C-alpha cells in the first residue's frame, strides 16, 4: 500500500524544469515528496519553479570545479547529506561519473527523449527525422555508467508525422515525458520498482529489454 510522502526525492536540473513541474504537480497527491532541487546552472528557470512551491534549492556550479570528478564529489556529498530515497534527473545536462553512479546505484532515474537503445545522446528529434523514422518517443531508465544505457523501465511512443519539424516533434514527445515520468517515480516510491544487477524489476517481475510499453497514441 502506498504511504504518502515516505519517499523523498532529489531532482537534478539544468534548465527550464518542465519535467520538474510535472513531478511537483504529481507530488501534491502522490506517494513521494521532493526534498530538494539541485542545479548546476544558477540561471535555470526550474529553480524558480521549485521556490514557488517552497521546495529547497541548491546550486552547485560545475564551472567552479577543476575536474568533473571534483564536481561529482561535491554533488555526491550534497545529496548524501539530504539522504533521499531517489535521485531524479530532469534535464540535468551533466554526465555523471562512475563513482557517483555506483554510490547511488539503483536510486537514480533518468528520462531520455528517444526509444532507447535508439538514439542515445543529444539531438534525438532531428536524428529521427534525418533517418526517416516513423516512430519516436520517450524512455525512463535507471542510470548506470553507460550513457543512456541503464535498464529501461518504461517507454511511450509517438508517430512521426509528415509535417513534423524537430521542434514540433520535441513538443509532442515532451507531453509524453510529463505523463510517464511521474508515473515511474510513483512505482519506485511504492516499493514496486527496483534495479537488480543490470535489470529492472517491477512488481517482482523482470521487465523486458524495452520496459513497460505505455499507451501508443497518434496525435494529428
| Beta bridge partner(s), residue 217 | 158
Question: For residue 39, what is its C-alpha cell?
Answer: 542545479
Q: Which among 8, 62, 112, 194 is annotated as catalytic?
A: 112
- Using an 8 Å Cβ cutoff, are 193 and 89 in contact? no
Task: Note the helical H segments in the chain.
Answer: 18-27, 45-52, 68-82, 98-103, 124-130, 166-189
Give the integer Cα–Cα distance in Å for 194 and 59. Answer: 29
Helix (H, G, I), strand (E, B) or coil at 142: strand
Question: For residue 33, what is its C-alpha cell?
Answer: 515528496
Please name the helix (run of DSSP H) or strand (run of DSSP E) that holds residue 135, with its range, or none. strand 135-142
Annotation says 112 is catalytic: yes
> Would strands 135-142 and 152-159 be described as parallel, antiparallel, or unpaired?
antiparallel
Catalytic residues: 112
Amino acid at each position: 500500500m502506498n504511504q504518502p510522502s515516505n519517499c523523498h526525492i532529489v531532482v537534478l536540473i539544468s534548465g527550464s524544469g518542465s519535467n520538474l513541474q510535472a513531478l511537483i504537480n504529481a507530488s501534491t497527491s502522490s506517494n513521494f515528496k521532493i526534498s530538494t532541487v539541485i542545479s548546476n546552472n544558477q540561471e535555470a528557470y526550474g529553480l524558480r519553479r521549485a521556490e514557488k512551491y517552497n521546495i529547497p534549492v541548491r546550486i552547485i556550479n560545475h564551472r567552479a570545479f577543476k575536474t568533473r570528478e571534483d564536481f561529482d564529489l561535491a554533488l555526491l556529498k550534497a545529496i548524501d547529506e539530504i539522504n533521499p530515497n531517489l535521485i531524479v534527473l530532469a534535464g540535468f545536462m551533466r554526465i555523471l561519473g562512475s563513482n557517483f553512479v555506483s554510490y547511488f546505484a539503483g536510486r537514480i532515474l533518468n528520462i531520455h527523449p528517444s526509444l532507447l537503445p535508439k538514439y542515445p545522446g543529444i539531438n534525438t528529434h532531428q536524428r529521427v527525422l534525418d533517418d526517416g523514422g516513423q516512430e519516436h518517443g520517450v524512455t525512463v531508465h535507471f542510470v548506470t555508467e553507460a550513457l543512456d544505457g541503464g535498464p529501461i523501465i518504461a517507454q511511450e511512443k509517438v508517430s512521426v508525422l509528415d509535417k513534423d519539424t524537430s521542434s514540433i516533434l520535441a513538443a509532442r514527445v515532451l507531453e509524453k515525458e510529463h505523463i510517464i515520468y511521474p508515473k515511474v517515480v510513483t512505482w519506485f516510491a511504492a516499493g514496486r520498482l527496483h534495479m537488480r544487477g543490470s535489470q529492472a524489476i517491477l512488481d517482482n517481475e523482470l521487465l523486458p529489454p524495452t520496459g513497460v510499453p505505455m499507451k501508443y497514441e497518434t496525435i494529428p
